[in-house]
Structure 1
């Protein structure tokens, strides 16, 4: 080993005691001197590295490229780390490779450039890094497996929750069906009770009238009192008409409740349709009551179910007649509004008290001022149900003691 390059004894001692391997190389790439650590790193005996080419300490695959790096450094020498950001590998005498870190510096000796390489074996650090990397990879794999398990368990939990939700929904549907069935049964029982109550009251009076009139007719016949006989015949007819209206209400409600009302729309010519209704209602009008009809020329026909519309208007006219005095007119008119046809039935009857109006379409409801006027309290409820079947809307205006107007709006087509 040529220690002439390290002239001072103290410097020589520092050179040899460094924990890093130090190699000094001339411009030709020949090793001039190396400390003991460097010789041990590369597996050489003391003084064995001196005179060896620097590239001999590199794996064969790096040597050609390193010559160019060395020349570039000689052309512009400055202290720096070698291979920053890359893994550097050195070659031992026995041919094994090991990872290193190298810092470069330079000095002038006898006016010649000498490059100093400070070399550290980082095998242990690399092993630790590799172990850490493997741990990280294992952790990533474990995390992925854990995430997969969590996903599977979450999916299983979601499926369980979905099944529970379906079971709960099914149970709620069953409870709702049971509630509806109970409500339906309650309504039917109420309907039966109401029917019995109304039948016992409403049927008794006209039937009694029929029975008494029949007996009196027999007496008047024997006496040949024909005028009185005709009077009681009219009373019988009126009573029979009343019973017929009551039965029609119950039959209509029964069909509506059972969903047995079929709707078949067809063109309805208003002039003929309203004339037929006006003729049909004559049988129950009070003396002096007249039904007038009016419709615009722009609306000659409407597309709807004629039987359902007839039942609606027949019922409204019947109510108008019952709750109006003899001689009071009843007006039936038709208007076109916003693509719909509006039928209006106007009377000059007793009107509807304000407090009763919100219940007017309830089943079995009768206004507080109905008094002795016969009725079941089903008519307007049935009218509302019929209007719903033909996509209609029903409303009314009423002034107590002055009369009422009912509006039934249905689609034009």
Structure 2
């Protein structure tokens, strides 16, 4: 059958064909399957040899068969190689009737005057899932931006109504002017927040979304080439990007709840050694390679009456910052000790530190230190931590030396 390839024997061809990690079919001009390797048989759910003699259209949903006959005839009339990604994505049908998306690349050879088509088939189910996930993320971002715009418009309308009412109250003009000034300040602050949010959305969302898209495309290519290490590498990149997006959305949702006063404090008795053990176990997997948590608890520290969920969020945020701004293989130190009648938590890192000129702004919304570089972040974390600490009637302070590290200390009442 393959006299047109003198450089390779039929036996060698069969060995290559049968052992290939890709799904491959050989089809004649009438669309009849002449050969199908084991990968193809497994992909479509057929027993060995059971696909021989079937029409290619038998592997498609019934509603697509007639149109595909035309595609096939057009190819055999004007044959030319069609690389993966240059053709059409199709819906294929397994023997059991279930359907799945595939990408197909085509090659051909002329044997005894007949065109034989070699089809290379890839199951792109995972790629389609990734594309759909990306689409949903973009839609969620647009919804959030739309809601923010509505809130700005609502605040603006409220401001206009307030100013109109104040103008009618001449006898309290001074007070009215002060209220108007405060309202204008709030409006200006809201507009600034909107601008900063748009800036964050355009960078902090676009970068990981682009990473997800490019990695999803590369996964398909590396799967076809049988390069699992590269596939795993890009799966990890997608997971990292999704985690980053989740972190950003969590920050924004937390800030929104705090702004609207929807965070309640529910106190409970917290056994501190067990609590810090759980915190360590939960966050260790998110640290950089080689980083380790070193936890030390003073002998006098046993119990604390506070909100465990809020306290966990505070420590998670501080530890996450310490990890982000420290190199690999560095230690992060957590110390818990009594401070008068209060409990103190000190989180110390050996990272890049905070420049002196930036330290006065560290708890401002959207502020990031000038040496943050390419480290991912929204500039909301410490602002959220400060608000959580205030809810627990506590205090937060820090000291830092540029290039040597930082210590953040949170002091919480024991009751």
Q: What is the CA–CA distance in structure 1 between the aligned matches of 2:380 and 2:271, rounded to whole Å?
A: 29
Which residue does the alignment assign to 1:313? 315
8 Å contact kept, 1:238–1:284: no
Counterparts of 1:230-241 in structure 2, within 5 Å, are: 230-241=232-243
**Match of residue 359 from structure 2:** 357
Name the structure 1 match of 2:293: 291
* Match of residue 282 from structure 1: 284
Pick aligned residue for 1:271 from 253, 273, 286: 273
The answer to whether the 8 Å contact 2:300/2:337 transfers is no
1:406 aligns with 2:408: yes
- Normalised TM-score (structure 1): 0.57
Query: Cα gap change, 1:400/1:218 in structure 2, threshold over 3 Å: closer, same or farther?
Result: same
Deviation for aligned residue 1:177 = 3.5
Q: How many angstroms apart in 1 are the aligned matches of 2:196 and 2:384?
A: 15
Note the alpha carbon deviations across 1:218-264, whole angstroms, 9 max, x for none. Answer: 11111221111111111111111111111111111111111111111
In structure 2, do the counterparts of structure 1 residues 177 and 261 end up closer, same or farther at CA, with 3 Å as the change threshold?
Answer: farther
Match of 1:95 in 2: none
Q: What CA distance in whole angstroms lies between the structure 1 residues aligned with 2:410 and 2:175?
A: 36
Change (3 A) 1:182 1:273: same
Given candidates 179, 183, 189, the residue that maps to 1:177 is: 179
Per-residue deviation at 1:168?
9.0
- For 2:308 and 2:187, locate their aligned partners in 1 and report how far apart those are by CA, in whole Å: 32
Partner of 2:211: 209
Task: Kindly indicate whether residue 339 of structure 2 is the aligned counterpart of residue 337 of structure 1.
Answer: yes
After the TM superposition, which residues 33-48 of structure 1 pair with which residues of structure 2 at under 5 Å, given as runs? Answer: none
Whether 1:257 aligns to 2:259 is yes
| 8 A contact 1:265–1:305 mirrored in 2 | yes
Per-residue deviation, 1:272: 2.3
Hey, what does 2:375 align to over in structure 1? 373
Q: CA deviation at 1:339?
A: 0.8
What aligned pairs does 1:86-97 form with structure 2 within 5 A after superposition? none
Q: How many residue pairs were aligned?
A: 247
Equivalent positions of 1:80-229 (< 5 A) are 171-229=173-231
How much has 1:297 moved relative to structure 2? 2.9
Match of residue 394 from structure 2: 392
SS at match of 2:241: helix
Separation of aligned partners in 1, 2:365 and 2:176: 27
- Alignment RMSD, CA only? 1.7
Query: Aligned-pair distance for 1:216?
Result: 1.2
Structure 1: how far apart are the matches of 2:282 and 2:172?
51
Contact 2:398/2:409 (CA < 8 Å) preserved in 1?
yes
Q: In structure 2, do the counterparts of structure 1 residues 339 and 193 end up closer, same or farther at CA, with 3 Å as the change threshold?
A: same
Which of these two proteins has the greater Rg computed from alpha carbons?
1
Question: Could you list the per-position Cα deviations for residues 173-208 of structure 1 after superposition, in whole angstroms to 9, with x for gaps in the alignment?
Answer: 544433333222222222121111101111111111
Question: 1:125-162 CA deviation, whole Å, 9 max, x = no partner?
Answer: xxxxxxxxxxxxxxxxxxxxxxxxxxxxxxxxxxxxxx
Aligned ranges for residues 16-95 of structure 1 at < 5 Å? Answer: none
TM-score (norm 2): 0.57
Quote the Cα distance in structure 2 between the aligned partners of 1:312 and 1:172.
Answer: 42
Alignment partners' CA distance in 1, 2:173 and 2:299 = 57
Equivalent position SS for 1:373: coil
Distance in 2, Cα, partners of 1:389 & 1:369 = 30
**CA 351–173 in structure 1, closer or farther in 2 if over 3 Å, else same:** same
User: Cα–Cα, structure 1 residues 273 and 177, in superposed 2: closer, same or farther, change >3 Å?
Assistant: farther
- From the superposition, tell whether residues 216 and 361 of structure 1 become closer, same or farther in structure 2 (CA, over 3 Å): same
Aligned in 2, Cα 1:269/1:168: closer, same or farther, shift over 3 Å? farther
Kept after mapping to 1: 8 A contact 2:397/2:409:
yes
Task: Show the counterpart of 2:98.
Answer: none
